[in-house]
Structure 1
Amino acid sequence: MRLTIGFFVLGYMLSQFYRACLAVLTPVLKEELGATAGDLALALGLWYVTFALMQIPVGEALDRIGPRRTSGVLLAVGGGGGAAMFAMASGPVDVQIAMALIGIGCSPVLMGAYFIFARSFRPALFGTLAASIIGVGSLGNLLGATPLAASVEAFGWRETLWALAGVTLLVSAGVFLFVRDPERVQAPSGKSGSILDVLKIRGLWLMLPLMMINYSASAGIRGLWAGPYLADVFGADAARIGTVTLAMGIAMTLGNFMYGPADRLFGSHRRVAIVGNTGLAIGLVLLWLQPDAGLMQAALLLAMVGLLGQTFPVLMAHGRAFIPPHLTGRGVTMLNMFSILGVALMQFGSRGVFERASETGTPTEAYSGLFLFFLVPLVIGLSIYLFSRDNPDATR
């Protein structure tokens, strides 16, 4: 079990790294490939779209063949192959295709771990374990900040990505060789069920809007917009961008560890999610109203968004409590699909919002509009979530 969890943590570190690396690579990709912030927003959006769409077949595969083969094969082909294509990119389109492939490769890693947690541990531990693997795996987010900038400066961005392709292949081999699948669970009726059976669970309906939006702000801003925002509004160089995004990444890591045991303190997944997302909304309000108040305030608010925007494992634990054992794979991947699809849609939308705002206003006004774009859906999703109900068995 230790090896199983260990290799899934390494795989999730890679997943976090790949979704965060574009913020630091923006200057060099612009200089060498002519890639604009809009081009890279599309690339990151494609990562999330392919990741999200893969959740349906990944859920089927987890329930039918288990996490070992599902995660090992996809991580090798998509993750390793996509990183190699990125290293050979000659233009923005190549980067976009590469990121889409990497999204496919990373799609089963976290859910493979969640599948094992749901099948092998008590329900009361699911939230803590789910948050812990994200917390430790978020070291990949940190590696995608200052360490990545240092590697690019020392060795070059292509050489760095070739090295990452090799590391990804090694981790995928470890998953395939050492992960142990839990025993299969048969449905009471003898049928395996489908994602439609998950969608029929009414307890999930009021959670889905917030599930779609809770991670979008921290993922989208840390993954891409933090770098251009700091450069355009404050004139920050690559080193300063790396430092601020590293701080935001550390805050995101701490946020996961903070939320993990919080359900036991509050006695409710729902209460934790409401408090956390309310705080996230406050941080976005301040960025919207005062985007140019100073580099230090901007850095603190970005860290606040990173810290409080990590309620994904809490919402997963809340939703997991309503899913029967024989639908575990399909259930957790469906919830993850809504979350990642929301990030993808917001990422695509953010590109258009920013470009239109840039045509008619200053950079400060454009980024103010961008932060408002992330804020409004969050408030709507949180308002709907207020009417959801706790499952009393979720925290026992």
Structure 2
Amino acid sequence: MVKIMPGASPTTPSDSLASQPNQAANPRWRVLAVFSLGFLVSYIFRGVNLGFAPFLTRELGLSAADLGLLTSFYFLGFACAQLPAGILLDRYGPRRTEAALLLLAVAGSLVFAFAPGMAGLAAGRAMIGVGVSVCLGAAIQALSMWFPLSRMPLLNGLVMAIGGLGAVVVGSPLSWLLAWTDWRTISVGLAALSFAMAVLLWFGVPDARRPGKETFAEQLRGTRLILVSEKFWRVVPLTLLNQGIFLAVQTLWVSAFMRDVQGLAPSEGARLVSVIGFAMMAGCVGAGWAARHLERRGVSLYAFAGFGMIGFIVVQLLLMARLPFVPLAVLWAAYGVFGSSGILTYALLARRFPDALIGRATTAMTLTVFLATFVFQVGIGFVLDFWPSSGGRYPVVAHWVVWGGLVGLQVVAAGWYLMEKRGGKV
């Protein structure tokens, strides 16, 4: 049975692999590339309804609340799969677990493509969510097996940056595709892409040596140790709000905010959605690089991650203020940079728990993030529907109420996060 030890991080297989750079170099970088591509597929699925939304609304006559509910079934399926997926990751390893689950994403994308109505679309989205539920957790676990833990902030940033290409794809490129073909055909194409990714994972990456398998009862005890750990719950509230709000807005509601509050045309909004995606990529890599170098100068990863997530709160306030002298592209780029800062806390978890628990620790974190995303995506639509819409547009005050409430929640969570820092437990 694995125990959580206080103090220094336990020795992991990645340490022994790191001591043999010549033998492990090529497999390492192949592992990084392939698992990052898997996360890219996940991110495309995550945000694709941003482009599909106008077509789904016209075909099905959906309200804002209906659209939020439909889109959020992806996040609900994703969240519900996290704890079982964490056990599968720690038992069977990231390669086999992710490849097998991606086949469910293939089926879900086909169900979505051929669904005649709301029920089929929702079922397809939920299946997709379960199917890609381990793409991030598997990548983090695989990298922790092949690389030293000191490199994890930068490596996690690289994974997020490559995955962030998906946020770029669902902007202008998706708009161009939808002018050429329909959303059902694109969904079939995504099913084919997912199948190709599953094959690449199964045959294209090696397995690292892992600790001996625990019994199922021991795995459940390990999961319980994570869920009752103060070290886990100290970082979770602000992380789930940072990531949950960013994902809920970026993958569905950002276009409505740009249209209703900032008066942008759809083409302008699509370009800025791609700006957010590129900025998120740059932020992931830049934050990972900066975290590693700042740690050498005495700035803890905990403190730096907190700075980024609090910076996200500031950027949201600036967007609400509609400052005329700050270009919108700059503000939305900052939104992407600081909105990605919560990813740094995954590297914190990799240090706080033994290697045998990393899969479950990361998926437990992801569970909270995607439950929050589900709640926020549905909740934003529900709140907007309190105001009458005109041609699908909502009054500015409706968006202010939504964003003001979200910012307030983050401020409270930031206070909880900073309490550990003040207590010297960084």
TM over 0.5: yes
Please give the alpha-carbon distance, in whole angstroms, between the structure 1 residues aligned to 2:394 and 2:103.
44
* Matching of residue 141 in structure 1 with residue 171 in structure 2: no
Alpha-carbon distance, 1:188 to partner: 10
Please give the alpha-carbon distance, in whole angstroms, between the structure 2 residues aligned to 1:260 and 1:358.
44
User: Hey, what does 1:71 align to over in structure 2?
Assistant: 98
Alpha-carbon distance, 1:24 to partner: 1.8
User: Hey, what does 2:401 align to over in structure 1?
Assistant: 369
**Which is further off, 142-151 or 319-328?**
319-328
Alpha-carbon distance, 1:181 to partner: 2.3
Please give the alpha-carbon distance, in whole angstroms, between the structure 1 residues aligned to 2:247 and 2:214.
39
**Which is further off, 368-377 or 163-172?**
368-377
Provide Cα deviations, 1:280-312, integer angstroms capped at 9, x if missing partner: 11111123344xx67985554333222101122
User: Hey, what does 1:275 align to over in structure 2?
Assistant: 307
Q: Secondary structure at the match of 2:420?
A: coil
Q: Secondary structure at the match of 2:206?
A: coil
- Compared with structure 1, are the counterparts of its residues 188 and 26 closer, same or farther at alpha carbon in structure 2 (3 Å cutoff)? closer
Please give the alpha-carbon distance, in whole angstroms, between the structure 1 residues aligned to 2:213 and 2:352.
15
- Contact in 2 for aligned 1:83/1:164 (Cα 8 Å): yes
Tell me the C-alpha RMSD between the 2 structures.
2.8
User: Hey, what does 2:255 align to over in structure 1?
Assistant: 227
- Contact in 2 for aligned 1:89/1:95 (Cα 8 Å): yes
Whose Rg is larger?
2
Please give the alpha-carbon distance, in whole angstroms, between the structure 2 residues aligned to 1:118 and 1:92.
40
Task: List aligned pairs for 1:30-109, cutoff 5 A.
Answer: 30-77=57-104, 79-109=105-135
Q: Secondary structure at the match of 2:411?
A: helix
Amino acid corresponding to residue 319 of structure 1 in structure 2 = L
Alpha-carbon distance, 1:237 to partner: 3.7
Amino acid corresponding to residue 342 of structure 2 in structure 1 = F
- Compared with structure 1, are the counterparts of its residues 155 and 295 closer, same or farther at alpha carbon in structure 2 (3 Å cutoff)? farther
Alpha-carbon distance, 1:235 to partner: 4.9
**Which is further off, 225-234 or 215-224?**
225-234
User: Hey, what does 1:197 align to over in structure 2?
Assistant: 225
Q: Secondary structure at the match of 1:90?
A: coil
- Contact in 2 for aligned 1:357/1:369 (Cα 8 Å): no
* Matching of residue 286 in structure 1 with residue 321 in structure 2: no
Please give the alpha-carbon distance, in whole angstroms, between the structure 2 residues aligned to 1:146 and 1:89.
26
User: Hey, what does 1:316 align to over in structure 2?
Assistant: 346
User: Hey, what does 2:285 align to over in structure 1?
Assistant: 257
Percent identity (aligned): 25
Give aligned pairs, total.
Answer: 391
- Compared with structure 1, are the counterparts of its residues 36 and 362 closer, same or farther at alpha carbon in structure 2 (3 Å cutoff)? closer
Please give the alpha-carbon distance, in whole angstroms, between the structure 1 residues aligned to 2:318 and 2:177.
34
Q: State the TM-score, normalized to the length of structure 2.
A: 0.85
User: Hey, what does 2:366 align to over in structure 1?
Assistant: 336
Alpha-carbon distance, 1:171 to partner: 0.7
- Compared with structure 1, are the counterparts of its residues 295 and 144 closer, same or farther at alpha carbon in structure 2 (3 Å cutoff)? farther
Q: State the TM-score, normalized to the length of structure 1.
A: 0.91
- Compared with structure 1, are the counterparts of its residues 376 and 300 closer, same or farther at alpha carbon in structure 2 (3 Å cutoff)? same
Provide Cα deviations, 1:73-108, integer angstroms capped at 9, x if missing partner: 11112x111211221133333322221111111101
* Matching of residue 242 in structure 1 with residue 274 in structure 2: no
Alpha-carbon distance, 1:358 to partner: 4.7
- Contact in 2 for aligned 1:35/1:91 (Cα 8 Å): no
Alpha-carbon distance, 1:165 to partner: 1.1
Please give the alpha-carbon distance, in whole angstroms, between the structure 1 residues aligned to 2:265 and 2:408.
30
- Contact in 2 for aligned 1:18/1:144 (Cα 8 Å): no
* Matching of residue 386 in structure 1 with residue 418 in structure 2: yes
Which of 174, 177, 193 is 2:203 aligned to?
Answer: 177
Alpha-carbon distance, 1:393 to partner: 12
* Matching of residue 211 in structure 1 with residue 239 in structure 2: yes
Amino acid corresponding to residue 99 of structure 1 in structure 2 = R
Please give the alpha-carbon distance, in whole angstroms, between the structure 2 residues aligned to 1:25 and 1:122.
41
Structure 2 residue ranges without an equivalent (≥5) = 1-26
- Compared with structure 1, are the counterparts of its residues 191 and 22 closer, same or farther at alpha carbon in structure 2 (3 Å cutoff)? closer
- Compared with structure 1, are the counterparts of its residues 218 and 173 closer, same or farther at alpha carbon in structure 2 (3 Å cutoff)? same
